[in-house]
Chain A
Amino acid sequence: MFDLNLTSEQIEFRDTVRNFVQNEVKPAAILPARLEPFAKPLLSGLLVDASRMGLRTLSLSEAAGGAGADMLTTCIVLEELAAGDVDIAMTLGLTQGLAHALFDEAMTPEQRGTYASKFLDDDQYHLALVEADRGAGSGAGAGWRYHRNEEAEADPGPVAVKQSNGDLILNGTVAFVPNASIAKLFVVQARTDSRKTGRNGITTLLVQSGSAGLRVVDPSSASDGAGAQQMTRWHHGSGAAVHFENCRVPASNVAGKEGQSPLAAEALQIRAGLQIAAVNLGLGRCAYEAAVDYARIRIQGGRPIIEHQAIGTILADSAIKLELARNMLWKAAWAADNGATATDPRALELPLHTIARVYTAEAVLEVALGAAECFGAMGVMRDMPLQKYVHDAHVFLYGADHDSATKLEIGEALAGFQRQAAA
């Protein structure tokens, strides 16, 4: 069976979010006053509205108080949100994904008892994942080790040391943690076993905002004087630096087993990657729709420019790329939802999530550049959204979550290479 029908529930979700984005998010996101400054503040009022619609708890199970969306539905919703504002989509995507990972899977019943109602009742309760900086010069992407095994390397993440009473003392700094500036609960991936490397020996700790020994520092000041080379912020959503200085975490706040983080599970990593691809896709659609709308009303050469072959080709190429990206993303999401029950095992041999991620990032940059071209000089003006779409597309393609070595993960899968972890 091959079925491209969405359920009536998925269609309802999509249309509800599409209306919200059209009427509320987009008008606020593209105000020149917001676009012109270099920093684009998070639209926090709209985050609350989105939470009331159930988007902060989207993939949290219904039993735990969420909407119980599967991966495909989550992708559909995140694409719609991102078509209005990438930053809102990234923020909500992160919180709702972590909510599912924590409340449905990683937490003990006691931990759920402590945190679930706080989380559900507060529309401004967000979650942040604190882990060793990705790609901070170390080339964390597996693709850089193409066909080579993991090597023991010092990793710069937070470290926790167990005390005689079972509490853990947490120390360390992470330069940038997405959602940190708005998070009320930090999920910390701390190294508790220094003899192990990579994901082995990592323990997941729960730390509430305001805890003694936890400091969240706005990155605009945190990145000052970071070296001779001037750097610019390169991320979506919000975030900040997180410092732990002798932060005491009670033993009851260890999620999962010590030294075996439940968040390192491959399924969760795949979900996180697909979410980013969905947001990336929404960005591409946003740029494409702007170009189509403009090409229908802008008259040059004696007719609406959409009637010129040259513009028609750009828009057709964009439509092709977005359709292919969405088809790949939905297939990968379907595999994530149905992997265990898929009747054709060959469908799962390739890392579909990586293919979706790589293709979408490449395709959307092309789409954004084509859209900007349709706007002529207006395409580079900071009070117009096109240049922001182009910037956002660069951040996806050349960002911390993705780099040119990512493709090699597909190459390794083709060769059947299994990476041996060090130690």
Chain B
Amino acid sequence: MDFSLNEEQRGWQMEARKFAEDEIRPRSLERDQIEDPKETWDWDLIEKGSKLGFRTLAVPKDWGGPGADFVTQAIVMTELAKGDSAISKAFSQNWKWSHLIARSCTQDQKERFLRAFMADDRYLMGRGITEPNAGSDNRMPPPDAPKAGYRLKAERQGDEWVLNGEKCFIANGSVGSLFFVDARTNPEVNVRQGGTLFMVPKGTPGFRVGKVFNKRGWRFYQNAELIFENARIPHANIVGEVNGGVKASIGDTTGGDIFGDLELAANAVGVCDDAIGMAMEFARTHTRAGKPVMEHQIVQLKLNEMHALTEALRSYVMRVAWERDQGGPVGANAGLAMNLSTDIIQKVTRLNMDIHGAEGFLMNARVDKLVRDAMVWTHLAGDTVQRVKILKRLGGGGAAAPKSAGAH
């Protein structure tokens, strides 16, 4: 076994660490504390990060990208998240769709969209799946309710498709240039058989952004409503085949299938590192009842737990990334690491809050921010559906029966 990083991986790590320390962290709390959810974004920061390669990190070398491997991607996400979890996600969100384009798009689509993505420091991407009445049903479609899941309707008119409906909570919704949108092309069957994936560029007539959601955590990272009112999409913008939307986005042998899971787990490691740094610093520099905080056993035990959990998660994340880079099967581990990262990030950020405690009737704002950021893991990475669905990859297949599964 070899746990060392190669020169290139180490280079990206140092680059990301420096960018996080010099550029992200100084703006992190300031952006977080802005009340209006539309105003938290910072294009200057995105452009600077883009010029260093963090926006396009996963684009293959053939297309002019760095073509970073999964170990590098995991390390960079962790390092950026040490500065700010939401800002790290704003960059890595694009990698997910770079994987998808590389895997599932035609040469023509790559020419039209991947080139534009590479050329513009402000070109960001997102995916529209969730709807007000379709959350968990998209993640784990219930076999006994074929109409469950997204309802956004697409009807063919000649060489075009007409989309009507609404998506909610869509990441990068208010700042994205291109969206992968799941629509129902056959409403009579379930989403696996009647769903199609469309590429919808910003500015498409009939397509607009609605409200930006006001979240408790990850405030920099914007989630918005996408509204489709007779939006006309050329047939050439379908990813994969008609009624093959689910197939187009899963079963990806280039690694796109594991990226979403790895992404949240790797990001969580960075937040845990940040929490540990804050807790250690606090314990060294403050006293309680005349003794340094560090010398109290109740604090020592908490610091021990924070370190142990974080290092265990880091090891798991790196193993998943490394295994994929070796071309080996990843199985359930990416998903399990993602589930586990929910428990660990929430535990570790709470222990940090526990160690700090209140200063009178005030709380360190960044300590609170980390707890708020960690809260988004629940519905993204660790709710009961996210856990039950992993069972399929563990050979539980049909055992992940919808009647025994939770949903939200």
A residues near B, CB below 8 A? 36-38, 133-139, 144-145, 148, 151, 153, 175-176, 178, 219, 223, 226, 229-235, 239, 298-303, 305, 308-311, 314, 369, 372-377, 379-383, 387, 390-391, 394-395, 398-400, 403-405, 408
Contact partner of B362 (CB less than 8 A), chosen from A232, A310, A382, is: A232
Using CB atoms, name the residue of chain B closest to A239: B361
Give the Cβ gap from B220 to chain A, nearest Cβ, in Å: 14
When distances are taken between beta carbons in the complex, the residues of chain A under 8 Å from B361 are 133, 175-176, 178, 219, 233-235, 239, 399-400
CA distance A176 to B360 in the complex (A): 7
CB pair B215 A381 closer than 8 Å: yes
What sequence of 0s and 1s flags, for each residue 373-403 of chain B, a beta carbon within 8 Å of any chain A beta carbon? 0011011000111001000000000000011
Using CB atoms, name the residue of chain A closest to B213: A381
When distances are taken between beta carbons in the complex, the residues of chain A under 8 Å from B385 are 301, 310
Main SS of chain B's interface residues?
A: mixed
CB pair A391 B353 closer than 8 Å: no
Give the Cβ gap from B35 to chain A, nearest Cβ, in Å: 6
CB pair B145 A136 closer than 8 Å: no
B289 at the interface (CB under 8 A from A): yes
With A176-B360, A231-B364, A234-B361 in contact, do A308 and B405 touch (Cβ < 8 Å)? yes
CB pair B407 A301 closer than 8 Å: yes
CA distance A391 to B29 in the complex (A): 18
CB pair B136 A133 closer than 8 Å: no
When distances are taken between beta carbons in the complex, the residues of chain A under 8 Å from B290 are 151, 153
CA distance A69 to B169 in the complex (A): 48
Query: Which among A229, A310, A395 has the greatest number of chain B C-beta atoms within 10 A?
Result: A310
With A134-B360, A231-B359, A234-B362 in contact, do A305 and B375 touch (Cβ < 8 Å)? no
CB pair B296 A375 closer than 8 Å: no
CB pair A372 B288 closer than 8 Å: no
9 residue pairs A–B, Cβ–Cβ below 8 Å: A144-B289, A219-B361, A232-B365, A234-B363, A305-B408, A309-B406, A379-B375, A379-B378, A398-B356
Contact partner of B298 (CB less than 8 A), chosen from A138, A308, A310, A405, is: A405
When distances are taken between beta carbons in the complex, the residues of chain B under 8 Å from A223 are 362
B140 at the interface (CB under 8 A from A): yes
Interface hits, B78-102 → A, CB 8 Å: none
With A176-B360, A233-B362, A310-B388 in contact, do A139 and B289 touch (Cβ < 8 Å)? yes
Give the Cβ gap from B84 to chain A, nearest Cβ, in Å: 14
When distances are taken between beta carbons in the complex, the residues of chain B under 8 Å from A219 are 361
When distances are taken between beta carbons in the complex, the residues of chain A under 8 Å from B230 are none
When distances are taken between beta carbons in the complex, the residues of chain A under 8 Å from B364 are 229-232
Using CB atoms, name the residue of chain B closest to A223: B362
Q: A372-B378, A380-B215, A387-B375 known; 11 other A-B pairs, CB under 8 Å?
A: A133-B360, A234-B368, A301-B385, A302-B145, A302-B148, A302-B402, A311-B407, A369-B346, A379-B379, A404-B302, A404-B355
B214 at the interface (CB under 8 A from A): yes
CB pair B362 A305 closer than 8 Å: no
CB pair A404 B148 closer than 8 Å: no
Using CB atoms, name the residue of chain B closest to A39: B35
When distances are taken between beta carbons in the complex, the residues of chain B under 8 Å from A36 are 214
CA distance A299 to B383 in the complex (A): 16
CB pair B354 A404 closer than 8 Å: yes
Give the Cβ gap from B280 to chain A, nearest Cβ, in Å: 15
CA distance A309 to B408 in the complex (A): 12
When distances are taken between beta carbons in the complex, the residues of chain B under 8 Å from A377 are 130, 135, 169, 379
CB pair A301 B405 closer than 8 Å: yes
With A300-B137, A372-B375, A373-B383 in contact, do A175 and B388 touch (Cβ < 8 Å)? no
CB pair B407 A380 closer than 8 Å: no
B residues near A, CB below 8 A? 29, 33, 35, 37, 130, 133, 135-137, 140, 142, 144-145, 148, 169, 213-217, 286-291, 296, 298, 302, 346, 353-366, 368, 371, 375-376, 378-379, 383-385, 388, 402-408
CB pair B360 A383 closer than 8 Å: no
When distances are taken between beta carbons in the complex, the residues of chain B under 8 Å from A133 are 360-361
CB pair B289 A380 closer than 8 Å: no
When distances are taken between beta carbons in the complex, the residues of chain B under 8 Å from A151 are 289-290
Give the Cβ gap from B113 to chain A, nearest Cβ, in Å: 27
When distances are taken between beta carbons in the complex, the residues of chain B under 8 Å from A404 are 298, 302, 354-355, 357
CB pair B216 A391 closer than 8 Å: yes
Give the Cβ gap from A27 to chain B, nearest Cβ, in Å: 20
CA distance A408 to B299 in the complex (A): 13
CB pair B358 A400 closer than 8 Å: yes
CB pair B375 A300 closer than 8 Å: no
When distances are taken between beta carbons in the complex, the residues of chain A under 8 Å from B378 are 369, 372-373, 379-380
CA distance A153 to B291 in the complex (A): 13
CA distance A52 to B169 in the complex (A): 44
Using CB atoms, name the residue of chain A closest to B353: A398
CB pair A376 B135 closer than 8 Å: yes
When distances are taken between beta carbons in the complex, the residues of chain B under 8 Å from A374 are 408
Using CB atoms, name the residue of chain B closest to A150: B289
Contact partner of B358 (CB less than 8 A), chosen from A135, A303, A311, is: A135
Give the Cβ gap from B86 to chain A, nearest Cβ, in Å: 12
Using CB atoms, name the residue of chain B closest to A145: B289
CA distance A404 to B388 in the complex (A): 34
Using CB atoms, name the residue of chain A closest to B382: A373
With A302-B145, A376-B135 in contact, do A398 and B358 touch (Cβ < 8 Å)? yes
CB pair A144 B296 closer than 8 Å: yes
CA distance A38 to B216 in the complex (A): 10
Give the Cβ gap from A134 to chain B, nearest Cβ, in Å: 7
CA distance A377 to B362 in the complex (A): 28
CA distance A411 to B289 in the complex (A): 17
When distances are taken between beta carbons in the complex, the residues of chain B under 8 Å from A153 are 290
CB pair B216 A381 closer than 8 Å: yes
User: Which 8 interchain pairs have the tightest Cβ spacing?
Assistant: A310-B406, A139-B288, A302-B145, A300-B407, A310-B384, A376-B408, A144-B289, A234-B363
When distances are taken between beta carbons in the complex, the residues of chain B under 8 Å from A375 are 408
CA distance A381 to B219 in the complex (A): 11
Using CB atoms, name the residue of chain B closest to A227: B359
Give the Cβ gap from A364 to chain B, nearest Cβ, in Å: 14
Contact partner of A301 (CB less than 8 A), chosen from B140, B298, B357, B358, is: B140
CA distance A133 to B359 in the complex (A): 9
When distances are taken between beta carbons in the complex, the residues of chain A under 8 Å from B403 are 301, 308
Using CB atoms, name the residue of chain B closest to A235: B361
CA distance A381 to B376 in the complex (A): 10
Query: Which among A311, A375, A377, A400 has the greatest number of chain B C-beta atoms within 10 A?
Result: A377
Give the Cβ gap from A312 to chain B, nearest Cβ, in Å: 8
CA distance A261 to B402 in the complex (A): 63
CA distance A405 to B298 in the complex (A): 8
Give the Cβ gap from B178 to chain A, nearest Cβ, in Å: 22
Give the Cβ gap from A291 to chain B, nearest Cβ, in Å: 11
CB pair A382 B289 closer than 8 Å: no
CB pair A309 B407 closer than 8 Å: no
When distances are taken between beta carbons in the complex, the residues of chain B under 8 Å from A144 are 288-289, 291, 296
Give the Cβ gap from B133 to chain A, nearest Cβ, in Å: 8
CB pair B357 A376 closer than 8 Å: no
Contact partner of B214 (CB less than 8 A), chosen from A139, A382, A394, is: A382
Give the Cβ gap from A35 to chain B, nearest Cβ, in Å: 9
CB pair A301 B289 closer than 8 Å: no
Using CB atoms, name the residue of chain B closest to A405: B298
With A139-B287, A379-B378 in contact, do A230 and B405 touch (Cβ < 8 Å)? no
